[in-house]
Amino acid sequence: MILFKKPADIKWYIAKGQHSGITVGFVPTMGALHRGHLSLIEKAKRDNELVVCSIFVNPAQFNDPLDLEKYPRPVEEDIMLLSEAGCEVLFLPEVSDIYPNGPHKLKDYNLGHLETFLEGASRPGHFKGVVNVVDRLLEIVVPNKLYLGQKDFQQYAIIQKLVDELKFGLTLHRIETLREEDGLAMSSRNLRLDGEQRIKATIFYKSLLKAKKAIDEGQSILIAKRIVSDEFEKQNVKLEYFEIADSKNLNLLESVKDTQNPPVMCIAGYVGDVRLIDNMFLN
């Protein structure tokens, strides 16, 4: 695996390969890699001749400086995992490489309602930071295909809008969330959970299953919300939101009959001071 730190160097290397006709698959990450990330690498390898992964903990998408400070950064372990997974290129830039004018001088994008509710409501400015870093990374890597995980579904929807509007000329692939044996969605933040918190964190998946069962049995979204709220209250875990949305435009639904697209359940909450999110599609 070849490691690049400077944008000009990796840009030259990739352009040379694309000029010879190879396709490039790109997996952007913030590191602390797990099997979910590696599944993106595996899919990219099946689809492309060259796979590029980036590791960059983006300061512009953190609302809480303490959250940024606590974010795990096991870079040496990440490099080993990527090498074993067969990733050909790793891009490991500094903040100054991504934000030459500093991470506080960001471009504005018209993301519409997508950035103002769910994750956007509790993390103002978060998605502005996300689209700025993705825009910059796509400008540097110029991939043919981009691979994102389903766990951050709202982020996926926003990046799809960015890709469509800025006409990057690439294909965006959404890869299904990988889970631990007990159903917990794989996440870098899981590393911050202690033993008791790790057990409690399964409430996200279990609550989604119970809500799905209720909806499948013909219950209303209001009843499903009450079921999820009661589950969190019983476990003394803080629920931030549970909503059901149209998976295409993320419009919130009052009834699953209000859309022809598959509805998606989105949930977020806190186990201790660790914020976790998850989602699940309805039939």
Q: What's the pLDDT band for 52 if we cut at 50, 70, 90?
A: very high
pLDDT exceeds cutoff 90 at 216:
yes
Place of tokens 């795990």: 72
Res 89: pLDDT: 98
Q: What number is the average pLDDT over the span 248-271?
A: 95
Res 123: pLDDT: 87
Q: What's the pLDDT band for 239 if we cut at 50, 70, 90?
A: very high
Provide the annotated active-site residues.
37
Q: Per residue in 31-44, pLDDT tens?
A: 999 999 999 999 99
Res 159: pLDDT: 95
Between 239 and 104, name the one with better pLDDT: 239
Edge-to-edge strand order for the sheet containing 89-91?
Answer: 2-4, 89-91, 50-55, 24-29, 145-149, 171-175
Res 111: pLDDT: 87
Q: Per residue in 95-131, pLDDT tens?
A: 999 999 999 899 999 888 888 899 999 888 899 999 9
The predicted model scores a pTM of: 0.94
pLDDT exceeds cutoff 90 at 79:
yes
Res 118: pLDDT: 93
Token pair of 181 as six digits: 């044996």
Write out the DSSP string of 141-195. Answer: H--SEEEEESSSHHHHHHHHHHHHHHT---EEEEEPPPB-TTSPBP-GGGGG--H
Token pair of 104 as six digits: 């506080």
Q: What's the pLDDT band for 276 if we cut at 50, 70, 90?
A: very high
Structural domains of the chain in order of their starting residue, each with its CATH number: 2-175 (3.40.50.620), 188-281 (3.30.1300.10)
For helices 153-166 and 126-141, give the axis angle rounded to 10 degrees: 50
Identify the bridge partners of residue 89 per DSSP, sorted by sequence position. Answer: 2, 52
* Total Cβ atoms within 10 A of residue 132: 22
Between 122 and 3, name the one with better pLDDT: 3
Res 174: pLDDT: 96
E strand or H helix that includes residue 274: strand 274-281
Q: Per residue in 129-184, pLDDT tens?
A: 999 999 999 999 999 999 999 999 999 999 999 999 888 899 999 999 999 999 99
Res 29: pLDDT: 98
Q: Per residue in 181-207, pLDDT tens?
A: 999 999 999 999 999 999 999 999 999
Res 167: pLDDT: 86
Q: What number is the average pLDDT over the span 269-275?
A: 96
